Amino acid sequence: MMTRVDFQVEPAGYRHWRLACDGPVATLTMDVDSHGGLVPGYELKLNSYDLGVDIELYDAVQRLRFEHPEVRAVVVTSGKDKIFCAGANIRMLAASPHPWKVNFCKFTNETRNGIEDATARSGQTYLAALNGTASGGGYELALACEHLMLIDDRSSAVSLPELPLLGVLPGTGGLTRVVDKRHVRRDLADYFSTRAEGVGGKKAVQWRLVDEAVPRAKWDETVAARAAELAERSHRPAGATGITLTPLDKTRTDDEICYRHVTARLDAARAVAEITVHGPDGDAPTDAAGIHAQGADFWTLAVTRELDDLILDLRTNELEAGTWVLRTSGDAARVLGYDRLLLDHRDDWLASEIIHYLKRTLKRLDVTSRSLLALIEPGGCFAGSLLELALAADRSYQLSGVFEEVDPDADPATITVGPMNTGPLPMGNGLTRLQTRYLGDEAGLAEVEKQAGEPLGAEDAGTLGLVTFTPDDIDWDEEVRIAIEERASFSPDALTGLEANYRFAGPETMETKIFGRLTAWQNWIFYRPNASGPDGALRRYGTGQRADFDRKRV
């Protein structure tokens, strides 16, 4: 079923969504083309969705943030009668290989988180107008919205039927959002999640599953009134003009992916993707007007869009490239200059959006099931926002000295901690990557913060604990080779579990539950014969035959 997936779309080419903006209120209408599946073999009936539907949704959410700053509230509704969304397409899930299912759920989760981030950080509040039944992933999409309205017509309901019908979990954060976000009581959540037909009307409101149930006769006017109320509360600037998210300049072959600022070379023999992120070509503009003038070409936005697309491309299309080697190239001072410009003008809506987009893209890297190795070499620019790549890595190697035979006159490799590393770019656990790295070591973190703005060579970075190893020119190639070959020799399943566990030290949040706890369990449950075996619930769904479960608890 695997096919190479392209994550670049634009509204004119949407097959499943309609985006309409009317002053401060936008409407995202889900109207899935049943014959528009990403791959052959299933029909997207009843507004059920696959990865292609979610790719369009992700694009729409991004464009609303960057191209439509005038929008203050977003109504998500259905273009079909009496059905909001039936969730992830069951035939697609049953026929998909395991990695496809897992990557699909992960991307869907990230898109939901982006909706919540837009509500919390961008003044674009999402309202779910459920004009029909919302089940499974359809209800989970609604749960990502701030306010949920359900039409009260004696037939429409919300439900999470994955357990009773499919033998799996509400795998895109549904159950987590029910109890952590909407504060549904544990006993009610238990009953709700085992009741395939779901809950509607006043009971759905009483149980906090939705915020209000509205009679059909008052539906349109109530949705419009509520959207206007939410828009009125927004801090989004009046009279702002958006920028256009132009198509990425991308070339793709079997062994190389190239953008303007990011390149990736694929080495199938070593199971490696070697990624280089290039710093700015010139100095940052002098003021916020320069950010707006450059638009999608502004370096931080451009490099973030490219890195975002690359992460999605690699983890969906290059499953055997299990190790990603991260390098940078360029002038560290210029990177820090772009960071400083954004932070100095973070009250400007566009500067703020760029910072939040960078934050979300780095979070996507954090939850990607690949081993990450950062190589800090002469000519690199691991500083400020790009230092986050090294801090996100599972190991980092900083060359002590220079490569004598290549360029003995080069400046030694350095890293620089900047203001971007000390607050604006938190991980899913709510902490910065520095705070996570120095969890329980406040003195160590304080020492690092004292060195902010100073280029740190290998010896100082190693002493401070900012990098893992500092080999010299003699040992560099061998140590890097061993690290990569060793990684390729381990079980990928075990590595995924290992990395997911230690990357999110510290407090548990809704995000860490979704990606750490829920995704891990869903991953395991998807693999089990009770779900995906020949007699499992996913395979038997719709056949009229009951699933044959292995009754042993594990």
- What does the pLDDT read at residue 2? 56
The DSSP result for 414-449, as a single string, is -EE--GGGGTTS--TTSS-HHHHHTTT-HHHHHHHH
The sign of the CA dihedral 37, 315, 531, 166 is negative
What confidence tens digit (pLDDT) does each residue in 256-267 have? 999 999 999 999
| Residue 1 scores a pLDDT above 50 | no
Percentage of residues in the chain having pLDDT higher than 90 = 90
Q: Calculate the average pLDDT of the chain.
A: 96
pLDDT mean over 376-397: 98
Query: How many CB atoms are closer than 10 A to CB 238?
Result: 9
Largest CA distance in the chain: 79
What confidence tens digit (pLDDT) does each residue in 150-187 have? 999 999 999 999 999 999 988 778 999 999 999 999 99
Candidate from 308-317, 389-398, 482-491, 519-528 with smallest mean pLDDT = 519-528
Candidate from 95-104, 327-336, 442-451 with smallest mean pLDDT = 95-104
Q: CA 330 to CA 277: how far, in whole Å? A: 9
pLDDT: is 527 or 136 the higher one? Answer: 136
- Give me the residue label for tokens 């703020």: 352
What confidence tens digit (pLDDT) does each residue in 336-358 have? 999 999 999 999 999 999 999 99
Q: Identity (one letter) of the amino acid at 316?
A: T
What is the bridge-based pairing of β-strands 256-258 and 262-267?
Answer: antiparallel
pLDDT mean over 463-472: 98
Please report how many Cα atoms fall inside a 13 Å half-sphere around the Cα of residue 408, on the Cβ side.
2
Q: What is the pTM (predicted TM-score) of this model?
A: 0.97
Q: CA 434 to CA 424: how far, in whole Å? A: 12
What confidence tens digit (pLDDT) does each residue in 474-521 have? 999 999 999 999 999 999 989 988 998 899 899 999 999 988 877 778
All domains of the chain, ordered by start, with CATH?
11-232 (3.90.226.10), 251-502 (3.90.226.10), 510-540 (no CATH)
Percentage of residues in the chain having pLDDT higher than 70 = 100
pLDDT band at 320 (very low <50, low <70, confident <90, very high): very high
- What does the pLDDT read at residue 170? 87
- What does the pLDDT read at residue 216? 96
Q: Please tell me the total number of residues recorded for the chain in this structure.
A: 554
